[in-house]
């Protein structure tokens, strides 16, 4: 039985999806104001392990990861450079996708962008206003946390101890400053503005994830992940907005990974103590060694990043690699040795038991390294045949392809990671409005922007015309490209 530690209950619980055999998973994605650092990659690799294990267990997974392309940080970044949000965030989105594939992370089924989902956010805010959970102040709209009695349950804070009463506009703040938070921010000089039914302005960060998760996964879904820094205020606020607006439970299981730290401090862009994946690869490490490092510490333990630790990860991966290569040299004919067969079965059981126990990767890796040690002994004694070697190699390859993803034999990947869509697309992702259309349009807009950046204006014009022919008018504004439906062009 699979069990996970649920931050909401503070306990390890049996995992029971809403619908048998299907899991709806939402993971908070990158805020694209800079390159993702390896602390971020720790979170994404943990989520990848979770997803791979669910898939390995025969469960279908619908996975959505948002891209935060409008918030305080992206706006400040774009403003400082004097370019549009879209121009500013595009290279970071592209780098994110490239690094994700380099690290062998299975792509999500959807990567909705905040800027493409303003309408859905407005719908939630309208509901919150109607139901009395939100109020207007100086052109902004705030969530009144004292109207939502369960506020604080996830982060285990007690409002009465903190005497909240203030209000704040910043997307991020500490538990000590708990306050009413902005759902919608009034127009400000230098900030993008959307003209909407609730007035002009732009969304707060938290409402973005409430809107995008429910759009693609439904109002209640199974698992929501992120790093522990997301618990407060981000996830606490997501729960408040979603449950107050929809009147149903938002998420059943909240899984958070602990931080990757450097010298005891959280690796963070704002602290300047960060390495991007490129920084590490430039020092001669293989990306799958980085993946192994990020993967091999249990996700709820702090991971102290050092180059020594990376060396150890390299050594661990090399042990698996040497073993895989040694197996190719076994030449002895003969039947399979029952002892080897038994070793494989014990390792399989140990690996699975570890992962079922709240993704206890240490136990799983101990089972794998135990197998390698015992099998090496049999190989040295000449008690293993070519058939045994084949069975061992198949087992290691199977575990690697399904779970570890560290490609120990450096074979060119048989499957293009971009095509390894985790999920079997028959898992119904019920898009409640025209989400797929939005995504398609966004893809065409991106292609046009790329063409323009490459000075391929002919192609850019063609894409614009093609969209217009299907009733979508593009408008280039100082804050990026907007689109609106105008009905199919008349010919």
Number of residues that bind Zn ion (CB under 5 A): 2
Binding positions for ligand AMP, 182-241, rule CB under 6 A: 226-227, 229-230
Residues 273-302, one symbol each (x = binds ligand AMP by CB under 6 A, - = not), give: ------------------------------
**204 vs 408 by CB, closer to Zn ion:** 204
| 353, 3 contact by CB (below 8 A) | no
Rg (CA), the chain: 25
If binding is defined by CB under 5 A, does position 209 make contact with Zn ion? yes
Looking only at residues 410 through 439 of this chain, which bind ligand AMP when binding is defined by CB under 6 A? none
Partner from ligand AMP, Zn ion, none contacting 259, C-beta within 5 to 8 A by type: ligand AMP
Q: At 461, is the secondary structure helix, strand, or coil? A: helix
Q: What's the min distance (Å) between Cβ of 317 and Zn ion?
A: 32
Ranges assigned E (strand) in 58-124: 60-65
For the chain, what is the total number of helices (H) and then of strands (E)? Answer: 15, 17
Shortest spacing between CB 299 and ligand AMP, in angstroms:
9
| Distance in Å, CB of 47 to Zn ion, minimum | 12
Verify binding: residue 43, ligand AMP, rule CB under 6 A: yes
Q: Whole-angstrom Cα distance, residue 82 to residue 394?
A: 54
Query: Among residues 259, 314, 317, 448, which is the contact residue for ligand AMP, using CB under 6 A?
Result: 259
CB-nearer residue toward ligand AMP: 29 or 408: 29
Cβ atoms within 10 Å, residue 365 = 19
Dihedral (Cα; 404, 399, 3, 46), 10-degree rounding: 10
User: To the nearest whole angstrom, how small is the minimum distance from the Cβ of residue 67 to ligand AMP?
Assistant: 10
Of residues 8, 28, 340, 351, which one binds Zn ion by CB under 5 A?
Answer: 28
CB 248, CB 254: distance < 8 Å = no
Picked from ligand AMP, Zn ion, none, the partner binding residue 209 (CB below 5 to 8 A depending on kind) is: Zn ion
> What is the C-alpha to C-alpha distance for residues 233 and 153, in angstroms, rounded to an integer?
12
Closest approach, Cβ 32 to ligand AMP, in A, equals 8
How many of the chain's residues bind ligand AMP (CB under 6 A)?
Answer: 17
At closest approach, how far in Å is the CB of 44 from ligand AMP?
7
Query: Which among 287, 271, 299, 218 has a CA at the least distance from the CA of 25?
Result: 218
List, in order, residues 6 or more apart from 377 with CB less than 8 Å away.
none
Least distance to Zn ion, CB of residue 236, Å: 11
Specify the DSSP element, H or E, that contains 301. none
Please, are residues 326 and 379 in contact by the beta-carbon 8 Å criterion? yes
x/- string (CB under 5 A) for Zn ion, residues 162-201? ----------------------------------------
Q: Report DSSP letters for 14-36, one per residue.
A: E---SBTTEEEEEE---BTTSPP
- Contact call for residue 260 and ligand AMP (CB under 6 A): yes
Considering the complex, state which of residue 43 and residue 209 has its C-beta at the smaller distance from Zn ion: 209
**Shorter beta-carbon distance to Zn ion: residue 151 or 305:** 151
Helix (H, G, I), strand (E, B) or coil at 441: helix
Q: Which is nearer to Zn ion, 226 or 408 (CB)?
A: 226
The structure tokens listed for 239 are 């729960």
> How many beta carbons lie within 10 A of that of residue 129, not counting itself?
17
Query: Going by C-beta distance under 8 Å and a sequence separation of 6 or more, which residues neighbour residue 195?
Result: none
Does position 154 interact with Zn ion (CB under 5 A)? The reply is no
- Using CB distances below 5 to 8 A depending on partner kind, what does residue 291 bind out of ligand AMP, Zn ion, none? none
d(C-alpha 284, C-alpha 304), whole Å? 20
Segment 1-40, which members bind ligand AMP (CB under 6 A)?
Answer: 28, 30-31, 39-40
- Residues in touch with Zn ion (CB under 5 A): 28, 209
């Amino acid at each position: 039985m699979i069990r996970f530690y649920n931050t909401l209950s503070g306990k390890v619980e049996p995992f029971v999806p809403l619908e048998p055999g299907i899991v709806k998973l939402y993971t908070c994605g990158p805020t694209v104001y800079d390159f993702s650092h390896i602390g971020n990659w720790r979170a994404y690799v943990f989520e990848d392990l979770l997803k791979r294990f669910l898939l390995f267990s025969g469960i279908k997974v619908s996975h959505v990861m948002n891209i935060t392309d409008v918030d305080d940080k992206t706006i400040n970044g774009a403003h400082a450079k004097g370019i549009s949000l879209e121009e500013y965030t595009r290279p970071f989105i592209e780098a994110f996708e490239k690094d994700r594939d380099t690290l062998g992370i299975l792509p999500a089924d959807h990567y909705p962008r905040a800027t493409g989902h303003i309408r859905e956010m407005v719908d939630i805010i309208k509901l919150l206003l109607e139901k009395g959970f939100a109020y207007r102040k100086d052109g902004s709209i705030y969530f009144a946390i004292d109207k939502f009695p369960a506020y604080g349950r996830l982060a285990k804070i007690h409002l009465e101890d903190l005497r909240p009463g203030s209000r704040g506009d910043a997307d991020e703040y500490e538990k000590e400053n708990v306050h009413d938070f902005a759902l919608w921010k009034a127009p400000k000089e230098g900030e993008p503005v959307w003209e909407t039914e609730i007035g002009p302005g732009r969304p707060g960060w938290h409402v973005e994830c409430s809107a995008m998760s429910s759009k693609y996964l439904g109002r209640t879904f199974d698992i929501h992940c992120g790093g522990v820094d997301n618990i407060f205020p981000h996830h606490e606020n997501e729960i408040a907005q979603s449950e107050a607006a929809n009147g149903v439970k938002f998420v059943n299981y909240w899984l958070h990974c602990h931080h990757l730290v450097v010298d005891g401090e959280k690796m963070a862009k704002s602290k300047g103590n960060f390495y991007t994946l490129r920084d590490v690869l430039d020092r001669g490490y293989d990306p799958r060694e980085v993946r192994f490092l990020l993967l091999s510490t249990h996700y709820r333990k702090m991971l102290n990043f050092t180059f020594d630790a990376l060396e150890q990860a390299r050594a661990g991966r090399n042990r698996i690699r040497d073993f895989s290569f040694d197996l190719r040299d076994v030449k002895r004919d003969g039947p399979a040795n029952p002892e080897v067969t038994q070793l494989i079965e014990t390792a399989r059981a140990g690996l699975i038991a570890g992962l079922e126990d709240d993704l206890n990767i240490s136990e799983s890796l101990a089972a794998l390294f135990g197998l390698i040690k015992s099998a090496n002994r049999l190989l040295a004694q000449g008690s293993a045949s070519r058939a045994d070697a084949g069975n061992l190699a198949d087992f290691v390859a199977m575990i690697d392809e399904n779970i570890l993803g560290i490609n120990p034999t450096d074979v060119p990947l048989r499957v293009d990671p971009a095509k390894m869509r985790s999920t079997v697309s028959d898992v119904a992702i019920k898009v409640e409005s025209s989400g797929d259309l939005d995504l398609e349009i966004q893809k065409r807009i991106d292609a046009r922007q790329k063409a323009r950046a490459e000075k391929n204006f002919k192609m850019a014009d063609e894409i614009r015309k093609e969209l217009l022919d299907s009733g979508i008018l593009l408008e280039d504004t100082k804050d990026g490209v907007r689109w609106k439906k105008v009905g199919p062009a008349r010919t």
